[in-house]
Amino acid sequence: MTTPNPIRVLIIDDERSFGLGLEMSLKMDGLAAKSVDSAETAVELLEKESFDVMICDYSMPGMNGLDFLKWMKERHIDTPVLMLTGAGSESIAVEAIKSGAYDYFRKEQVDTARLAAEVKNIHEKYTAARKKKELELEQRRLEEKEKEVESLRMFEGTVNSIGQFLENGLTGLSRKVEVNGERLLPYVVEDGKDQFAKFLSDLKKEIELVAAGTKSISDLSALVAQKLERIQAERKRLG
């Protein structure tokens, strides 16, 4: 049976003795704890390592606890943070929670056994929530993929239907051009019969190209218009 990895805890406190003492206590409770003496040092460390839970003092020189929470938010780091506050700083605790802290402890009343239990509880809840979110995202991706596949199937069916309709229609049109052209040919003036016959032949070929998908309906329409203009121009020239 595989032994689960210990929970990684980062302690951020400018009181070095307090941070080291908390680190030792949490290690005795089976946690992989590490302490640093400033939020700036924590920022550098987080560029290289990741942690499961962080314990951060609010009152520190330079970057304080709230500044650190803001930095985490800007970097999209969602590791749960327990904020340590001083006596009479309930308003700061509330602000810390609003800024993204998971919970807070009064620093002078820290009970290491209780703190260790809270760290384990937070990690368990956070892990469960993250897995649930990942499953929901995966479910949404699958649903979107299914919708995409269904849309493609509908589109394919529509294209096939249109293609079949055009193929059948254009095949019939080609036949009508041939039959009606033959019927009209005797009524065309003698000097224009060859030109009219060529026009019908070219038109039939273009219809067949459209039916085969090598040309569009707009191409066919433009061709017919051009052919008619040329015939009219030729008639004017001859006549």
Question: What tens digit of pLDDT does each residue of 50-85 get?
Answer: 999 999 999 899 999 999 999 999 999 989 999 988
Identify residue 79 by its one-letter amino acid code.
Answer: T
Domain stop point among 110, 141, 170: 110
In whole angstroms, what is the distance from residue 42 CA to residue 25 CA? 20
The predicted pLDDT at position 27 comes to: 93
Same structural domain for residues 158 and 103?
no
**Residue span of the structural domain in which 104 resides:** 8-110
- Distances in Å between the Cα of 60 and the Cα atoms of 38, 100, 144, 205, 231 are 7, 18, 47, 85, 93
Q: Is 95 part of a structural domain of the chain?
A: yes
- Same domain? 73 vs 20: yes
Tens digit of each residue's pLDDT (9 = 90 or more) over 87-118:
566 788 888 888 889 888 888 777 888 888 88
| pTM strictly above 0.85 | no
User: Is residue 133 a part of any domain in this protein?
Assistant: no
C-alpha to C-alpha distance for 24 and 21, rounded to whole angstroms: 5
For the chain, how many structural domains are there in total? Answer: 2
Residues 15 and 97 in one domain: yes
In a domain, 157, yes or no: yes
Question: Could you say which of 110, 144, 175 is where a domain stops?
Answer: 110
Asked if residue 18 belongs to a domain, the reply is yes
Q: What is the distance in angstroms between the CA of the first residue and the CA of the last residue of the chain? A: 102
Q: Are 81 and 66 in contact (CB under 8 A)?
A: no
Is the domain of 20 the same as that of 104?
yes
pLDDT of residue 140: 85
Q: Are residues 170 and 102 in the same domain?
A: no
- Pair 232, 163 in one domain: yes
In a domain, 181, yes or no: yes
Residue 15 and residue 88 in one domain = yes
Q: What is the mean pLDDT of residues 24-48?
A: 94
Statement: residue 159 has pLDDT above 60? no
Q: Is residue 179 part of a domain?
A: yes
